[in-house]
């Protein structure tokens, strides 16, 4: 757990947009398990069904700090209302499925781009202390529409630091790779197929970054405490080969390559070659500043030379390590 997080969160109000997704529901567990003394944890989402299920699992009479609000980040007026007296905003709201983005691009733009601008506007109007948006490796040199919208979201959020005037709101980005135990992960799909004779994958050469949801929460908490605006925070992660993941889950299955799906990359990047001029590293996290003379206020970071950061040219998880991770989330 991040040092000083309990003191930092005490009597604070946090809003998580897209709050009934993997990150928000896992954040609730973290708050309860670690006995964080939050004033309020507000979960905003447009999914009435998930809100209903979570409210049954975490009843208000027992978890008095929890609030479930219906709403959409496409609606700035609703965001302004919900953000009243909020200290920190974590934006986890997004449309995420790569293939759907290629067929319904405008819907992704409305949520992932316009929605983030609404969060910026509402945060400034309410003088929120800090806003962290969750991004993805697909925003780095984007090949698909989803990645392009997340890159736009990053740019919008970071640029907000330049238009806030005397407002003391800070805007930062957390960019990470595939979360194993998330709803968008390939792991649940592979687990459902492990008793079949054949498993079809896009390409046996495909690699991805690996991360657990607990690591994502820790990274966001670290960013809330330490970031001062304009940073993109990137974790140092291991990679895995897709074919090794299949072998870890279903070692007896025959594997067939069916070809890359629309919008898919063979390998992912977390840091592009163009982002390497102002990179700082502390052994665990990279900080990217997209400006010539960044003002680094965080201790224990040193400027480094880095020629990009991709999932292919990286340390790989073994099949046994992958199996251990999968067993830990069942």
Asked whether residue 170 is domain-assigned, the answer is yes
Give the pLDDT score at 278.
86
Asked whether residue 186 is domain-assigned, the answer is no
Asked whether residue 27 is domain-assigned, the answer is yes
How far apart, in whole angstroms, are the C-alpha atoms of residue 157 and residue 168?
14
Give the pLDDT score at 330.
59
Asked whether residue 264 is domain-assigned, the answer is no
- pLDDT beyond 90 at 192: no
Query: For the segment 199-241, what is each residue's pLDDT rounded down to a tens digit?
Result: 988 999 999 999 999 999 999 999 999 999 999 999 999 999 9
Give 165's pLDDT tier (boundaries 50, 70, 90).
confident
- pLDDT beyond 70 at 295: no
Asked whether residue 249 is domain-assigned, the answer is no
Asked whether residue 255 is domain-assigned, the answer is no
Give the pLDDT score at 280.
93
How far apart, in whole angstroms, are the C-alpha atoms of residue 285 and residue 120?
25
Give 298's pLDDT tier (boundaries 50, 70, 90).
confident
Asked whether residue 57 is domain-assigned, the answer is yes
CA 305 to centroid of chain Cα atoms: 25
Q: What is the CA radius of gyration of the chain?
A: 20
How far apart, in whole angstroms, are the C-alpha atoms of residue 196 and residue 322?
20
Query: For the segment 111-159, what is each residue's pLDDT rounded down to a tens digit?
Result: 999 999 999 999 999 999 999 999 999 999 999 999 999 999 999 999 9
Maximum Cα–Cα distance across the chain: 62
Asked whether residue 197 is domain-assigned, the answer is no
Element housing 170 (H / E):
strand 170-176
Token representation of residue 187: 């792991």
Token representation of residue 271: 């840091």
Among 252, 257, 254, CA closest to 198: 254
For residue 143, the enclosing domain spans 5-180+211-236+271-310
How many structural domains compose the chain?
1
Task: Just list the catalytic residues.
Answer: 138
Mean pLDDT value of segment 15-30: 96
Give 291's pLDDT tier (boundaries 50, 70, 90).
confident
CA 17 to centroid of chain Cα atoms: 12
Element housing 173 (H / E):
strand 170-176
What percent of the chain is modeled with pLDDT above 70?
Answer: 98
CA distances from 87 to 20, 29, 47, 132, 242 (A): 20, 20, 24, 12, 40
Token representation of residue 52: 């209903």
How far apart, in whole angstroms, are the C-alpha atoms of residue 236 and residue 218?
13
* pTM beyond 0.85: yes
What percent of the chain is modeled with pLDDT above 90?
Answer: 76
Give 164's pLDDT tier (boundaries 50, 70, 90).
confident
- Whichever domain contains 109, its CATH number is 3.40.50.720
């Amino acid at each position: 757990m991040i040092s000083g997080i309990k003191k930092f969160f005490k009597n604070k109000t946090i809003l998580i947009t897209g709050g009934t997704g993997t990150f928000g529901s896992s954040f609730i567990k973290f708050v309860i398990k670690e006995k964080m003394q939050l004033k309020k944890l507000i979960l905003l989402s447009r999914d009435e069904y998930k809100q209903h299920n979570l409210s049954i699992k975490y009843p208000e009479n027992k978890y008095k700090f929890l609030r479930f609000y219906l709403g959409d980040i496409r609606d700035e007026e609703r965001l302004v209302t919900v953000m009243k007296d909020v200290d920190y905003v974590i934006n986890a709201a997004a449309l995420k499925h790569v293939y759907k983005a290629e067929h319904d691009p405008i819907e992704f733009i409305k949520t992932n781009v316009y929605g983030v601008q609404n969060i910026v506007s509402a945060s400034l109007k309410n003088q929120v202390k800090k806003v962290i948006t969750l991004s993805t490796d697909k925003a780095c040199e984007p090949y698909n529409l989803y990645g392009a919208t997340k890159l736009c979201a990053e740019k919008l959020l970071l640029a907000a630091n330049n238009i806030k005037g005397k407002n003391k709101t800070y805007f930062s980005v957390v960019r990470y790779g595939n979360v194993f135990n998330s709803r968008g992960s390939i792991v649940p799909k592979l687990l459902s197929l492990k008793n079949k004779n054949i498993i079809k994958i896009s390409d046996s050469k495909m690699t991805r970054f690996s991360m657990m949801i607990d690591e994502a929460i820790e990274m966001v908490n670290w960013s809330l405490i330490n970031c001062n605006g304009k940073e993109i925070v990137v974790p140092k992660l291991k990679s895995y080969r897709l074919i090794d993941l299949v072998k870890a889950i279903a070692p007896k299955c025959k594997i067939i390559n069916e070809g890359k799906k629309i919008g898919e990359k063979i390998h992912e990047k977390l840091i592009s070659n163009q982002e390497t001029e102002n990179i700082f590293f502390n052994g665990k996290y990279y900080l990217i500043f997209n400006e010539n003379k960044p003002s680094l206020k965080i201790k224990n970071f040193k400027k480094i030379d880095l020629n990009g950061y991709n999932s292919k040219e990286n340390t790989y998880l073994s099949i046994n390590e992958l199996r251990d991770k999968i067993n830990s989330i069942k």
